[in-house]
Amino acid sequence: MEKDIITTINNNIKQLKYCMNICEAQLWGGPRHIKQKYLKQLGRLKMKMKEQLIDKKYYEDVLEYYPKIYQVLLT
């Protein structure tokens, strides 16, 4: 189950990176209100990226440590 979740998180990270690239491209041109709009969106995307990276780290730790804990408990 954790492997499926990590796969989904990796897909989310790819999508967020794509969206961040689009926002950064929009910051180079256009009027000021457009730049402000995309700066706000970029900030939200960065927060979501941090959340996804934290979740990924958590589930990787679960995959790494819980099998070891179960082996110790079963012996």
Report how far residue 26's alpha carbon sits from residue 51's, in angstroms, rounded to the nearest whole number: 24
> Going residue by residue through the chain (75 aa), what tens digit of pLDDT does each one get?
778 999 999 999 999 999 999 999 888 877 899 899 999 999 999 999 999 999 999 999 888 887 666 666 555
Q: What is the pTM of this model?
A: 0.79
CB 23 within 8 A of CB 36: no
In which domain, by residue range, is 27 found?
2-74
Q: Residues 6 or more apart from 3 whose CB is under 8 A from it?
A: 63
Report how far residue 45's alpha carbon sits from residue 20's, in angstroms, rounded to the nearest whole number: 7
Torsion angle, alpha carbons of 66, 68, 74, 75, to 10: -170
> Would you state the pLDDT for residue 71?
60
Give the number of domains in the chain: 1
Report how far residue 18's alpha carbon sits from residue 21's, in angstroms, rounded to the nearest whole number: 5
